[in-house]
Structure 1
């Protein structure tokens, strides 16, 4: 049985094209072609590769998720909707 492995894009830049082929099919066209979206994706890849997670099954990309670190002021009222705890100060 193939082994499941979690890696980041920062650890495995060689998987970029495989991830694109496997994961981009589910996104609406306006996300993939909007200039602002492309710029944010480029910045996320450049600044936050450790938060761009890929799930491999038998060495093949089968899932992925991307995010970035956010800093807050520590005041609950300023946190994005849906958060349940104050963000830590850094």
Structure 2
């Protein structure tokens, strides 16, 4: 028995985000914050599920996301941490 994804059962849009949807999401979060991801799509007027909005914001649209290559210092830090920790999962690590 396989559970159907929430987007299919509610008739919500799936797939690639349009620039217009990105702008709606960004402006809504800038004005109101993102306190409740499940309620956000309806409040913002998006035909997406809350999980899709949360992932889009977290992985692509958040202004503090660093894009591009690692600096030499960041690369050295990653190598040192890998030597120290191996392949163990690091739950949270942010470069400063």
Q: Same fold (TM over 0.5)?
A: no
Give the strand-richer structure, 1 or 2. 1
Q: Name whichever structure is richer in helix by fraction.
A: 2
Larger radius of gyration: 2
TM-score (norm 1): 0.29
